[in-house]
Amino acid sequence: MIHLPLMLVVFYLAMAFITPLLGRLKKFSSRYFGVAVSAAGLLIVGATAFHVFDAGPFRYFPGNWASPVGIEIVVDEITVLLQLTIAVIGFLVSVYSVDDLDREIDERMHNWFYVIYFLMMAALNGLVMSFDLFNIFVFTEIGTLTACAMVAIKSKRVCLRAAINYLILSTLGSGMILMGIALIYMVTGHLNIGAVAQVLPEATEAFTWNVRIALSLFVVGFGIKSALFPLHLWLPDAHSSAPTPSSALLSGVVLKVFIVVIGRIVFQMFGVELFVQIPIPLVILTLATMGIFLGSLFAITQTDIKRMLAYSSVAQVGYIFMGIALVSARGATGGLLHIFNHAVMKSLLFTAAGAIIYKTGIRKIDDLNGIGYKMPLTMAAFGVGALSMVGIPGTSGFFSKLWLALGALDAGQPFFVLVIIISSLLNSVYYLPIIVRAFFGGGSGKFTMDQLPWKMLLPLVILAAINLYFGILPGSLVRLAEQAAAIWLH
Amino acid sequence: MISTIFANLHYFVAILLFLIGFHTMLTHSNLIKKIIGMNIMETSVFLLFISVGYVRGGNAPIIDDQISAYINPLPSALILTGIVVGVSLTAFALAMVIKIYEYYGTVNTDEIMRLRDGEE
């Protein structure tokens, strides 16, 4: 039982290793194998989650070396929340890609897509539970490489251009992160986050600038990887040109994991005092606000549906950063809630858009008139996601925004309530017209069933159901997010 | 002042190399040069890490009665991993540059941006 967290990473790495070997078999289908592995991953994560709910958070030391000497793995509510998000989205996307991959990726590359996918899952799961700076660096690098590869795997020149931009900017971020780790190691002599946190107050007095520069380097480095405005330049190209399953994973999961790592490093290592002392929260809040507005404004001007969704991610990531930078317990709860909710709604929207492209080949928003009659279920699911983005009560997006607004009031900054309200209006400007177009913009007026493979329809319906469920009964999710936020801020 | 700089020369060199690499990555439009900049930047951090673990007059950390000072082996071990990560990044980036050259016929980002009109 207690070995489960490590097993999860090892399991995905092992699966990544044997996939090309199994690919040599005649009757091997990597797509069904991908579904099976994701389901197994979901089971492992579920078992870990039950253990945490039952017996509380725990720490795991590989090889039984205690913490300053050995590597520490921490499984707390933050880990559970993120791992559940990763596993659920990963599983549903793998079901979706069974049929979608044929259209998107060359037949020869299918095995390699799953190798990359398993490696990415290993890296993301490792990132959210490792409590050691150098481990975080290595997992970050694996995550970055595989995320770039997921964009580049579709052999089109747009994808390659997007992937190389992504890679170069990400590597800049990695360099900064490694520099930050070096500066921290220099003044504290530790790499374990807990051990660093213990000696950091002393070290800060002796080497103030070292520590401050390290903190800034971490925030900027991970900020690039999680597309904090204005470091988001790589995102729209990469997320819109990637194959749909990759887009759903990249927008839904990968960005959030890096934000959580920022939260861990800032709150659990540097401590709130230092974070507030050099006004990094103020900087992040300003950038997040600009990201929320400008991301939405750019999204409004887009004509391509996937590009619009990618720009919308820039805005949504702004909300999560805002939740962290408000430095109030309810704000952080809102941010963590939005991590899960946005993961669900953005992968829902991307897979719905992918289903439309799969069936009709339409990418332009202007051509979507009357599509709701041809694909009613898909567009209904898309509508749930879109309403959730706007934050209509009854969808899960409402609650993350509510908690963010409460957090802003707790922090004594009611201005950000206004930001949330105005940005919700902006969101509705680009999401609602699509629904109106789909159902009222002409078309036959007669509903016909979506004629999509059920493996594509099922994830859509499940994602929409999850969204509605947590929009009506958010209790359990909010409790988990509150417990997770309490680890950072009391 | 001068003596402080000389005593901490490795830090200054590391920061200088970091900035050179950073600058190269951001300003050059040639993708190969960008990758070289990436390598310079990573190497500078490796240098900083290794120099942190160095103890003046220290020996390799193999326990022996006659030796009193050892260098810190942890940074060296970490940087070994760091080098592996750096190599895989470089390999991946170079592989993508080859592909980009196949598709665009150039490795210059400015020209690639110019060629993007009319695709998609």
- Contact yes or no for B22 and A172 at CB 8 A: yes
Cα–Cα distance for residue pair A150/A116, rounded to 1 Å: 7
Closest to A340 (Cα-Cα) out of A87, A53, A48, A32: A87
Cis peptide before A5 (omega within 30 of 0): no
Nearest residue of B to residue A139 by CA position? Answer: B85
The identity of residue A349, as a single letter, is L
Going residue by residue through chain B (120 aa), what tens digit of pLDDT does each one get?
778 777 788 888 888 999 999 899 888 888 899 999 999 999 999 988 888 888 777 787 787 778 778 888 888 888 999 999 999 999 999 999 998 888 888 888 888 877 765 554
**pLDDT, tens digit (0-9, with 9 covering 90-100), for A409-463:** 888 888 888 888 898 888 888 888 888 888 887 766 677 776 778 888 888 889 9
Chain A closest CA to B49's CA: distance in Å? 6
Cβ atoms of B82 and B49 closer than 8 Å: yes
- Contact yes or no for A178 and B45 at CB 8 A: yes
- Contact yes or no for B75 and A185 at CB 8 A: yes
Give the contacts of B61 (CB within 8 A, at least 6 positions apart).
Answer: B70, B71, B72, B73
- Contact yes or no for A186 and B99 at CB 8 A: no
Chain A closest CA to B107's CA: distance in Å? 10
Cα–Cα distance for residue pair B41/B20, rounded to 1 Å: 7
Q: What is the pLDDT of residue B116?
A: 66
Give the contacts of A113 (CB within 8 A, at least 6 positions apart).
Answer: A30, A97, A101, A105, A150, A153, A243
User: SS3 of A3, please?
Assistant: coil
Cα–Cα distance for residue pair A96/A355, rounded to 1 Å: 9
What pTM was estimated for this model as a whole? Answer: 0.91
- In A46-114, at which residue ranges do the beta strands (DSSP E only) sit? 58-60, 73-75
Q: Which of B45, B93, B116 sits opposite A161 (nearest CB)?
A: B116
Which of B55, B96, B104, B115 is the best residue to mutate to test the A interface, defined by the most A CB atoms within 10 Å of its own CB? Answer: B96
Determine whether B9 is exposed, middle or buried from the number of CB atoms within 10 Å of its CB (0-12, 13-18, 19+). exposed
Cα–Cα distance for residue pair B25/B31, rounded to 1 Å: 9
Q: Which residues of A touch B26 (CB under 8 A)?
A: 172
- Contact yes or no for B52 and A168 at CB 8 A: no
Cα–Cα distance for residue pair A121/A143, rounded to 1 Å: 8
Q: Which residues of B touch A141 (CB under 8 A)?
A: 85, 88-89
Q: What is the pLDDT of residue B120?
A: 47
H helix or E strand, kind and range, residue B63? none
Q: Which residues of B touch A161 (CB under 8 A)?
A: 100, 104, 112, 116
Cα–Cα distance for residue pair A336/A195, rounded to 1 Å: 25
Q: Which of A134, A141, A191 sits opposite B89 (nearest CB)?
A: A141
**Chain A (251-310) residues lying within 8 Å, Cβ to Cβ, of chain B:** 304
* Chain mean pLDDT for chain A: 87
Q: What is the pLDDT of residue A74?
A: 87
Cβ atoms of A419 and A334 closer than 8 Å: no
A136 to A75, A85, A130, A262, B27: CA distances (angstroms): 15, 19, 6, 11, 29
B36 to A163, A178, A200, B90: CA distances (angstroms): 18, 17, 35, 9
